[in-house]
Amino acid sequence: LIKKKKTRGNKLLDMDAHPHYTPKIQCFSNIAGYSGIFLCGDLPYWLFLTTHGALRTHPMYLDGKVTCFAPFHNVNCEHGFLYFSSTDELRVCTLPTTLSYDNHWPAKKVPLRSTPHFVAYHHDTKTYAVCTSTPSLNPMRPAMQNNMDKEEAPIEEDDNFPYPSLNWYSITYILGKAGR
């Protein structure tokens, strides 16, 4: 049925074409260890309260509009949540526990065993290129010759001598989901 209740001038307004929708606010606790508020609507948002008492907002644009949300916990979905997507499908989900939501962006620690300097992302292959450096001890020292040429000579000191440190640079590729 099409409800035509209101008129504006000589035009009848179709009330079902633009239904009145009020966004919902749902409090939650212990979804992947986090507590906060979920804002349902056309632009759904997570509001997390971090361990330091800061409020962090993270959008959830995966399925578009979220009409209903509820925390959910059982054997198959521990500390997860339920929601209805824009296509009226019920989704049973969990937040990835490998990510930390305590920052402005969700972050994941990746063990590099070196110091990162630059990161580049290739969208088509979902690959990260990371420029890293690793310090190493250099047992050689530069020595100047009579003809002003520079050569390296070994440092002959005792075991407690602090050798100079040099950084060895490398580029590491980290494959995303498409490369797995």
pLDDT over threshold 80, residue 3: no
Q: Is the CB of residue 99 less than 8 Å from the CB of residue 108?
A: yes
Is residue 18 predicted with pLDDT exceeding 80? no
Quick one: pLDDT band at residue 24, thresholds 50, 70, 90? Answer: confident
* pLDDT at residue number 155: 67
Q: Strands 34-39, 140-144: parallel, antiparallel or unpaired by DSSP?
A: unpaired
Mean pLDDT of 5-30: 61
Residue 10 has a pLDDT of 52
* pLDDT the model gives residue 80: 93
Q: Which amino acid is at 123?
A: H
